[in-house]
Amino acid sequence: MTAYTATVTVRLKRGVLDPEAETTQQALERLGFELSDLRSADVFELDLDADSADEAGERAEEMTERLLANPTIHDYDVEVAQRE
Amino acid sequence: MTAYTATVTVRLKRGVLDPEAETTQQALERLGFELSDLRSADVFELDLDADSADEAGERAEEMTERLLANPTIHDYDVEVAQRE
């Protein structure tokens, strides 16, 4: 078994309203910053032991589909790296 | 002016309690998944126009220090990429 960290990024799908991001953008603009768009995403770093990077990625994907993301409104991607 | 996307990742500093991450980890364990740790982070993707990648990075850093992160409890990093 090797120690891996799977980094799962969960984003809202295009077209899904994100009032939190909109509010954050407006607040930055009120502070005098100029920006054309702001998107927010959630990242989960999962430390897990697995026999291979592929297995770690599959398990992380399963956890994402079961709990971390809502497939109706979210897209996600999973990156796996070996952990020291 | 060139279009850039600055990706800002805001994490809790080591030692700062993260009850949301803890609850998420427990929920995954109740679903039968094994994992040794789970950390969460917020990601902001800022679309902005600037004269150079360095300038875009500096402005993103300023926005992070002013609003997106709380330096007492958060660490952050900024990555800048040109946008098509």
On chain A, the residues whose CB falls within 8 A of the CB of B69 are: none
Which of A 29-68 lie inside 8 A of B, CB atoms?
31, 33-49, 59, 62-63, 66-68
All structural domains of chain B: 2-82 (3.30.1280.10)
CB contact under 8 A, B34 and A48: yes
ipTM, two decimals, is 0.89
The model's pLDDT over A41-58, given as tens digits with 9 standing for 90+, comes to 999 999 999 999 999 999
Q: Are A21 and A38 spatial neighbours (Cβ–Cβ below 8 Å)?
A: yes
Summarize chain B as % helix, strand, coil (round to 5). Answer: 35, 40, 25
The model's pLDDT over B36-80, given as tens digits with 9 standing for 90+, comes to 999 999 999 999 999 999 999 999 999 999 999 999 999 999 999
Q: Which two tokens stand for residue B80?
A: 């800048």
pLDDT over 90 (residue A84): no
- Mutation to test the A interface, candidates B46, B51, B76, B83, most A Cβ within 10 Å: B46
pLDDT in the model for residue B35 = 95
